[in-house]
């Protein structure tokens, strides 16, 4: 029996975005979050006495300012070498974007798979074959799996790959491939990287995105970590998620539909924050608060939004180690539109169309001749947080509701003129 760790998307020294202007945030702690999460990974590997560690791409975060990032990584690999733990890794799109990465000499217990073709490493002690191919450039659009050899029936076969698979929202479609193609290789486990949300794609064979080890912004909420795999006599006995993150991001929603008094708002917010803090198991938190629902408090909130923003921050400060990334007001005032929006009326159809409309701004922009040139020049750091031309769902909800409220106002105004 042996165990191994599968991690991906480390993004060493990547900044956490959304708390830079928070006057009380521990900025030094935030800047070092990725390193501290990686330290947790190294300690977990040593504590579990794993046979080896797999890193499925994006160890780094594009070009470094200096060699300190590489020196830090080498020192942590030295800890694993002292524990007799080898590391096998492929480079991803962010690694390939770095010029310094290409000249870095790796510690002797680290194997970086080549980018010209798929490489193979045999671990005779465990009867394991590991296959992998690195990115040769930041943008790899071909299916790399076609280059991977067939699995050896006499060995436990692992594929190490940085890929978008068949596409994932918020991630560039790099090294696309299909589940059928992965299955065709006859491997027991596919260790994937690139997608920052943990996902078990398949269990026959196991195909896993472990997610990144540390959330970096509000689009990367929830527990982050790596995957611990236990193998016995050639069969996978368990696949476990292990948390590594040192700061947790969360979306907190407060429905104000039943809230009649503005003075009760801080207590409602505190209750929601306390629930999220319990889920975070003592970790510091960065929270986006969304106040929503049809409520008589709508006008009071919007008329004095800066005041309530500070009230929310005060609640967070009293809880301790909880910082507000943003407060979004998604409330609506109580209005009776039943006389206007009823049954199969044209207005009802119009409101339904607005509700389902996706506001696909990127599709509209793509019609502009200069868009492709502009999009290609966007820095990797900006694209790493998701497509800046596609707002997150919470922002779309607010936008759709704003449009509906504007339309209803115009319809009511037109009706009053006609009367």
Task: Tell me the pLDDT of the chain (419 aa) as tens digits.
Answer: 999 999 999 988 877 776 665 666 666 677 789 999 999 999 999 999 999 999 998 888 765 556 788 888 889 999 999 999 999 999 887 765 555 555 677 889 999 999 889 999 999 999 999 999 998 777 788 889 999 999 999 999 999 999 988 866 666 778 889 999 999 999 999 999 999 999 999 999 999 999 999 998 899 999 999 999 999 999 999 999 999 999 999 999 999 988 889 999 999 999 999 999 999 998 999 999 999 999 999 888 988 899 999 999 999 999 988 999 899 998 888 665 555 555 566 766 776 676 666 555 455 555 555 655 565 555 554 554 455 555 555 566 656 666 665 565 556 556 555 55
Rounded Cα–Cα distance for residues 19 and 291 (Å): 20
Give the Å distances, CA to CA, from 418 to 85, 413, 415. 80, 9, 5
Contact in structure between 309 and 325 (CB atoms under 8 Å) = no
What pTM did the predictor assign?
Answer: 0.79
**With left for phi above 0 and alpha for psi between -120 and 50, is residue 177 left, alpha or beta?**
beta
Contact in structure between 285 and 248 (CB atoms under 8 Å) = yes
The pLDDT score that the predictor gives to residue 385 is: 46
Helix (H) or strand (E) holding 309: helix 305-319
Rounded Cα–Cα distance for residues 245 and 127 (Å): 32
Where do the domains of the chain lie? 2-243, 248-418
User: Which tokens hold the place of 150?
Assistant: 């067939």
The pLDDT score that the predictor gives to residue 389 is: 55
* Tokens 């060699």, located at residue: 67
Contact in structure between 148 and 185 (CB atoms under 8 Å) = yes
What is the maximum alpha-carbon separation in the chain?
87
Contact in structure between 175 and 96 (CB atoms under 8 Å) = no
Contact in structure between 198 and 243 (CB atoms under 8 Å) = no
Within 13 Å and on the Cβ side, how many CA atoms surround 137?
Answer: 4
Rounded Cα–Cα distance for residues 289 and 287 (Å): 6
> How many other CB atoms are there within 10 angstroms of residue 61's CB atom?
23
Q: Report DSSP letters for 42-79, one per residue.
A: HHHHHHTT-SEEEEES--S-SS-SSTHHHHHHHHHHHH
Contact in structure between 192 and 161 (CB atoms under 8 Å) = yes
User: Which tokens hold the place of 346?
Assistant: 């044209």
User: For residues 62-73, b (16+ Cβ closer than 10 Å) or e, as one string?
Assistant: bebeeeebbeeb
Contact in structure between 143 and 174 (CB atoms under 8 Å) = no
Exposure of 161 by Cβ count < 10 A (0-12 exposed, 13-18 middle, 19+ buried)?
A: buried
Give the Å distances, CA to CA, from 305 to 301, 329, 396, 406. 5, 8, 20, 20
Strand pairing class (128-132; 119-123)? antiparallel
Strand pairing class (110-112; 119-123)? unpaired
Rounded Cα–Cα distance for residues 269 and 290 (Å): 10
The pLDDT score that the predictor gives to residue 334 is: 66
The pLDDT score that the predictor gives to residue 285 is: 92
Contact in structure between 371 and 81 (CB atoms under 8 Å) = no
Give the chain's length.
Answer: 419
Fold topology of 2-243: Purple Acid Phosphatase; chain A, domain 2 (3.60.21)
Contact in structure between 168 and 195 (CB atoms under 8 Å) = yes
The pLDDT score that the predictor gives to residue 406 is: 59
Helices of type H across 48-178: 68-82, 93-96, 99-103
């Amino acid at each position: 029996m042996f165990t191994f760790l599968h991690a991906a998307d480390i993004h060493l020294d990547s900044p956490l975005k959304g708390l830079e202007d928070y006057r009380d945030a521990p900025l030094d702690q935030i800047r070092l979050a990725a390193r501290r999460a990686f330290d947790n990974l190294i300690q977990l590997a040593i504590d579990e006495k794993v046979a080896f560690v797999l890193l499925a791409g994006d160890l780094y975060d594009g070009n470094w300012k200096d060699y300190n990032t590489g020196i830090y990584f080498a020192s942590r690999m030295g800890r694993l070498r002292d524990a007799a733990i080898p590391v096998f890794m492929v480079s991803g799109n962010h690694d390939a974007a770095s010029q310094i990465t290409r000249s870095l000499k790796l510690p002797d217990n680290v194997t970086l798979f080549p980018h010209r073709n798929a490489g193979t490493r045999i671990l005779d002690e465990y009867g394991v074959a590991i296959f992998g191919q690195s990115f040769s450039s930041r943008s790899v659009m071909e299916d790399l799996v076609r280059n991977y050899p067939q699995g050896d029936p006499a060995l436990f076969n692992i594929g190490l790959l940085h890929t978008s698979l068949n596409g994932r929202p918020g991630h560039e479609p790099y090294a696309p491939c299909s589940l059928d193609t992965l299955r065709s290789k006859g491997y027991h486990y596919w260790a994937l990287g690139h997608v920052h949300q943990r996902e078990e794609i398949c269990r026959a064979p196991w195909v896993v995105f472990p997610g990144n080890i540390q959330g970096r912004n509000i689009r990367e909420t929830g527990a982050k970590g790596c995957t611990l795999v236990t193998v016995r006599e050639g069969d996978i006995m368990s696949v476990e998620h292990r948390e590594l993150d040192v700061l947790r991001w969360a979306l907190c929603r407060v429905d104000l539909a039943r809230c009649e008094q503005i003075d009760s708002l801080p207590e409602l917010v505190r209750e929601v924050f306390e629930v999220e803090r319990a889920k975070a198991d003592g970790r510091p938190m960065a929270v986006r608060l969304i106040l929503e629902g049809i409520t008589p408090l709508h006008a009071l909130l919007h008329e004095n939004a800066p005041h309530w923003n500070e009230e929310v921050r005060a609640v967070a400060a009293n809880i301790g180690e909880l910082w507000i990334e943003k407060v979004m007001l998604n409330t609506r005032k109580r209005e009776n539109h039943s006389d206007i929006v009823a049954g199969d009326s044209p207005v009802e159809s119009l409101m339904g169309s607005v509700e389902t409309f996706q506001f696909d701004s990127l599709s509209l922009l793509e019609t502009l001749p200069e868009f492709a040139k502009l999009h290609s020049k966007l820095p990797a750091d900006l694209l790493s947080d998701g497509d800046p031309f596609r707002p997150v769902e919470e922002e779309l909800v607010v936008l759709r509701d704003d449009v509906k409220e504007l339309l209803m106002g115009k319809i009511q105004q037109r009706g009053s003129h006609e009367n």
